[in-house]
């Protein structure tokens, strides 16, 4: 199974001020427990920025060992590009993955136009820390922990969410005889 999330801010002393948390340990334990409720050891999780703060080799390893699954990090504001941990890989700032026949563009920051958006690709992002920020701008979703009650969102749930969203404003219809095949 594939999951998406962002803005965990594990270890970030200023983030435990999110409603319900009295201290950073309570914040971190709650988020880690939610993660592990839905992520299996064989799953893949794309963290779209702001994973651990401060991100040192020690802090990254300490949090990584408490989380299930293989983690791909698309860096955000608080991420360091050269940290290493088992079952953990840091990707570029903007990543285009393909799930089944669906392209999904990942970046920490929201974009109005993203790679292949005119061909119906999806965009998952973080950064904004608001529950309802998509405002009908096509097939893009803020996947931060604040939005999904501190759980990573599965690709299956993401598919259901995307089905309810309007087409990308710049979508080129496939039935157009001049539309190239982009797969």
For the domain that residue 89 is a member of, what is the CATH number?
A: 3.60.21.10
Order of strands, edge to edge, in the sheet holding 153-154? 88-90, 70-73, 44-47, 2-5, 153-154
> Cα(106)–Cα(126) distance, rounded to whole angstroms?
9
Confidence band, pLDDT 50/70/90 cuts, at residue 127? confident
Q: Considering the domain boundaries, does residue 174 fall inside one?
A: no
How confident is the model over 28-86, as pLDDT tens digits?
999 999 999 999 999 999 999 999 887 777 888 889 999 999 999 999 887 776 777 77
> Cα(66)–Cα(63) distance, rounded to whole angstroms?
5
Q: 179 pLDDT exceeds 70?
A: no
How confident is the model over 144-154, as pLDDT tens digits?
998 899 999 99
- What average pLDDT does the chain have? 86
Q: 25 pLDDT exceeds 70?
A: yes
Instruction: Pick the range with the lowest mean pLDDT from 16-25, 56-65, 110-119, 120-129.
Output: 16-25
Residue 19 domain boundaries: 2-164
Q: Considering the domain boundaries, does residue 181 fall inside one?
A: no
> Cα(115)–Cα(183) distance, rounded to whole angstroms?
13
**Total number of domains constituting the chain:** 1
pLDDT at 102: 95
Q: Which residues contact 117 (CB under 8 A, 6 or more apart)?
A: 105, 123, 138, 139, 168, 170, 171
Residue 122 bridge partners (DSSP) = 104
Q: Considering the domain boundaries, does residue 38 fall inside one?
A: yes
Q: Considering the domain boundaries, does residue 179 fall inside one?
A: no
pLDDT at 18: 65
pLDDT at 131: 57
How confident is the model over 77-113, as pLDDT tens digits?
877 767 777 778 889 999 999 999 999 999 999 988 8
For the chain, what percent of residues have pLDDT higher than 90?
51
* pTM, two decimal places: 0.89
Q: Considering the domain boundaries, does residue 177 fall inside one?
A: no
Q: Considering the domain boundaries, does residue 172 fall inside one?
A: no
pLDDT at 174: 67
Helix (H, G, I), strand (E, B) or coil at 52: strand
């Amino acid at each position: 199974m594939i999951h998406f999330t962002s803005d965990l801010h594990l270890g970030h002393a200023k983030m435990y001020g999110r409603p319900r948390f009295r201290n950073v340990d309570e914040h971190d334990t709650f988020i880690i427990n939610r993660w592990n409720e839905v992520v299996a050891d064989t799953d893949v999780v794309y963290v779209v920025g702001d994973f651990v703060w401060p991100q040192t080799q020690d802090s990254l390893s300490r949090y990584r060992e408490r989380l299930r699954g293989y983690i791909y990090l698309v860096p955000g504001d608080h991420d360091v590009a050269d940290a290493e941990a088992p079952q953990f890989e840091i990707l570029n700032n903007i990543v285009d993955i393909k799930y089944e026949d669906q392209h999904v563009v990942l970046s920490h920051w929201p974009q109005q136009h993203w790679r292949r958006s005119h061909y119906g690709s999806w965009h998952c992002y973080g950064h904004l820390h608001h529950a309802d920020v998509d405002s009908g701008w096509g097939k893009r979703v803020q996947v931060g922990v604040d939005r999904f009650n501190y759980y990573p969102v599965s690709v299956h749930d993401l598919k259901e969410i995307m089905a309810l969203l309007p087409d990308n404003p710049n979508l080129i219809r496939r039935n157009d005889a001049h539309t190239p095949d982009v797969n």
